[in-house]
Amino acid sequence: MRVDAHVDGDFSQLKGSPEGYVSQCRERGIERIVLLDFPERAQQAYHALPDFVIPVPHLDLDSATPQDLHACFDWGARGIKFYLPQFSYGDTRYDPLYRAIAERGGVAVFHTGYIWTRFSPEIYPHLSPENPRPVDITLMQPAAVDCLARRHPTLKVLMAHFGNPWWEEAWKIISANRNVYADLSGGTAYRRSMRMWQEMFVPGGNQDAYALSKLLFASDVIYFANPGGEGFESYCGFYDRLYEAVGASPEQRERIDRGNAAELFGVE
């Protein structure tokens, strides 16, 4: 069984019974999902499916307050997602927010690397015509996460998308920071060759077991709109090929598939 640690989805689009949907997902190997969505929608899905949805609302790093974060944790959020900042993730002006997450034992989830160009106000409200904002992906590099992780060693950090295209930088950050983890979700990592991942996680033929232990299974597919979370299978196949390529043990596979997510987000 796996915990899909990075998914999208609007619960209101679910057709059929919620219990039946969860049953379908679990029959296909997905035990739980980490849902990253607007606070209201994440809360709705969590309250409907508390044993399946791990809610992580996304907030605007430049307008949210510590009180906003605490309000999310009060209804059950397990973390907060950030993306499209006006300044580097590592800028000290964001420290009050990072301290609030650490205080609540939550996970700070950061979009790292490239972000697609087909913007819409519904998906990226930060970029609405009324609130235009330059997009600078260098503000979301793994190096920026390293900067904040050094200042906040008790903050649990998850880098989404493994820093695409700064792959090696992302590897170094999870290797160097005890509190930083990463997933390989999205439409790029699973298209890279196994040779690249072997060179990264088995340098010189010696497995980097510590860095490998910091990964989480994740897809970034859309749930609820399709039966049983349809679309995650290609990511399952990718992770399975990765395990073979790097010689992952059964214990390492279990940790990546579900153990790290369960520990980070505090679920059984």
DSSP string, 117-130: S---TTT-GGGSTT
pLDDT in tens, 25-62: 999 999 999 999 999 999 999 999 999 999 999 999 99
pLDDT score for 134: 76
Residue 18, pLDDT above cutoff 90: yes
Helical residues (DSSP H) of the chain, grouped into ranges: 18-27, 39-48, 66-75, 95-103, 142-151, 167-176, 194-201, 209-212, 233-246, 250-254, 260-265
**pLDDT band at residue 226 under the 50/70/90 scheme:** confident
- Dihedral pair phi/psi, residue 55, rounded to 5°: -85, 130
Contact 61, 94 (CB under 8 A): yes
Q: So what CATH class is 2-265?
A: alpha beta
Contact 224, 16 (CB under 8 A): no
Residue 237, pLDDT above cutoff 80: yes
Q: Which residues does residue 37 pair with via DSSP β-bridges, in sequence order?
A: 57
Which DSSP symbol is given to 222? B
d(CA 21, CA 14): 8
Rounded mean pLDDT of the chain? 93
Amino acid at 164: N
Residue 9, pLDDT above cutoff 60: yes
Name the residue ranges covered by the structural domains of the chain: 2-265
pLDDT in tens, 100-125: 999 999 999 999 999 876 555 555 56
Residue 229, pLDDT above cutoff 90: no
Segment 85-112 shows an average pLDDT of: 98
Enter the pTM of the model.
Answer: 0.94
